[in-house]
Amino acid sequence: MSDQDALTPRVIIFRHGETEWAKSGRFTSFTEIELTQAGVAQVFSVAARLVGAGRLLDPRRLVQVFVSPRVRAVKTLELLLSAYPDVVAGKVTYTEDITEWSYGDYEGRKDQEIRLLRKKRGLDQEKEWDIWLDGCEGGESSQQVTERLDKLISQIREMQKPYMCGEKPADVLLVAHGLILRCFVKRWLGLSIDSPLQMILAPGAMAILSYKKNNINEPAIHIGLALPSEEESKF
């Protein structure tokens, strides 16, 4: 990791571990679903390999943790940082700003099922349904999702702005859901939610956002990141 990478504040996004509905491809927003045993193992594996002093996610460098209040996200955070309760004490905020896109009438359904139901009702005759653009009946629109994510992004940038050159550690951790975190990446980069940026974020997966040239006005995504060296882990 370069000196710039080590100094620049980061936003670490983490998707909750596997659930039965995620495994089967069912849309899950407000329904409370527990992690599967495989989901628990996914999070424990990341915690053992990537979380700790001098590792990719160093709890000592966190100034704030934002978590979706859904039980699958809350449990994921508990497992991810179980060895560091004292380090993150007082830094955790449970917020609806980072809950999953509300799927409304489509909750619990699979993608193809939604498409067939919509066509039976006379919708989408000229183009396929696109959640990024069309939103969900009885749920959220893309504009509503954009507004709540933009509010959170502004809050994060206010936190990190004074420390762009490493004056003190200012990493932020988000623990949430697959679709909303991909939306967050787009808004972080200044893209509209319906921009054609194809992304994959598997259950129990981590990604890292930051800024180019230590500049608050140049938000960026790490498409590759070297692991910290022992020297860089000291601050």
Cα 211 vs. chain centroid, distance in angstroms? 17
For residue 174, count other CB atoms closer than 10 A to its CB: 26
Question: In this structure, is the dihedral angle defined by the CA atoms of residues 162, 165, 167 and 168, taken in order, positive or negative?
Answer: positive
pLDDT in tens, 151-167: 999 999 999 999 998 88
Known catalytic residues are: 16, 100
CATH topology of domain 3-221: Rossmann fold (3.40.50)
Check the annotation: does 103 bind a ligand. Answer: yes
For residue 91, count other CB atoms closer than 10 A to its CB: 15
Per-residue model confidence (pLDDT) at position 96: 95
pTM: 0.91
pLDDT in tens, 119-143: 988 898 889 998 888 889 999 999 9
| pLDDT surpassing 90 at residue 97 | yes
Check the annotation: does 118 bind a ligand. Answer: no
Tokens 């140049």, residue?
A: 218
Per-residue model confidence (pLDDT) at position 171: 96
Q: Which residue has the higher pLDDT, 226 or 115?
A: 115
Per-residue model confidence (pLDDT) at position 183: 96
* Among 39, 27, 98, residue whose Cα is nearest residue 69: 98
| pLDDT surpassing 70 at residue 234 | no
Check the annotation: does 101 bind a ligand. Answer: yes
Q: What angle do CA 48, 188, 96 make, to 5 degrees?
A: 70
What average pLDDT does this structure show over 210-227? 88
Average pLDDT in the chain: 91
Question: In this structure, is the dihedral angle defined by the CA atoms of residues 139, 185, 154 and 225, taken in order, positive or negative?
Answer: positive
Per-residue model confidence (pLDDT) at position 1: 46
pLDDT in tens, 71-83: 999 999 999 999 9
* Among 46, 45, 47, 42, residue whose Cα is nearest residue 22: 42
Per-residue model confidence (pLDDT) at position 79: 96
